[in-house]
Homo-oligomer: A and B are copies of this chain.
Amino acid sequence: METLLHILDIFGIAVFAISGALAAGKKRMDLFGVVVLASVTAMGGGTLRDIILDVGPVFWVTNPTYLIVAVAAAVATFFTVRLFSLPPTLLAIADAIGLAVFTILGTEKALAVGMPAVIAVVMGVITGVVGGMIRDVLSGEMPLILRSELYATASFCGAIILTLTISKLQAREIAVLASLIVTLALRLSAIKWKISLPLMSRDKGA
């Protein structure tokens, strides 16, 4: 399980870096801009989580492997995007896996340093969604998370499932798996059937 989560963690970094690099490509940035935007997307959430928890230097300072993976994924995207394009469906699925894994890692890290359940859930969501928010702000878009199909909601539900079950079950594996499935199922259904929460609006006609 530890090994699987670690592999998924590296996978999540790479996937989010690719999504950041593709967003950079739309804005006609140069190689360095692409690397910066990809790195911020991949590591922004975990960075904010570590800063808020105040548990020493942030994760990629302690272990630069993450940084190297993000940069490598960004550079690879930069050069391969001219040759062939990734199918959007594949990318959306990969992104959903990244979201689910980051949510689990963020929630677990908060619980590991003794945080109460409500904070652990918030840290899971922050780890999952903040990287994408910074990506959108830096590339001049309205943050996807604030308008889109159950993105943060899926992360939120995954974090709650993990927090509730991990203490009760005494079986971390099952809790982690349940969280992973819930986040993935919610996010992927929302993409497939264009589900979203009701919008806030004063006029009924809109």
Chain A residues in contact with chain B, CB under 8 A? 21, 24-25, 27-34, 36-37, 47, 51-54, 56-58, 61, 64, 67-68, 78, 81-82, 85, 115-116, 118-119, 122, 133, 137-140, 142-143, 145-147, 150, 152-153, 156, 196-202, 204, 206
Give A160 to B16 CA distance when docked, in angstroms: 26
Q: Once the chains bind, are B147 and A33 in contact (CB under 8 Å)?
A: yes
Q: Once the chains bind, are B138 and A133 in contact (CB under 8 Å)?
A: yes
Across the interface, A152 reaches (CB within 8 A) one of B33, B54, B133, B198, namely: B33
Give A45 to B149 CA distance when docked, in angstroms: 29
Give A34 to B143 CA distance when docked, in angstroms: 12
Q: Once the chains bind, are A27 and B146 in contact (CB under 8 Å)?
A: yes
Q: How far is the CB of A145 from chain B (nearest CB, A)?
A: 7
Which residues of chain B are within 8 angstroms of A51 by Cβ–Cβ distance? 51-52, 54
Across the interface, A31 reaches (CB within 8 A) one of B52, B115, B137, B198, namely: B198
Contact A199 B28, CB 8 Å, known A54-B54, A68-B118, A122-B67: yes
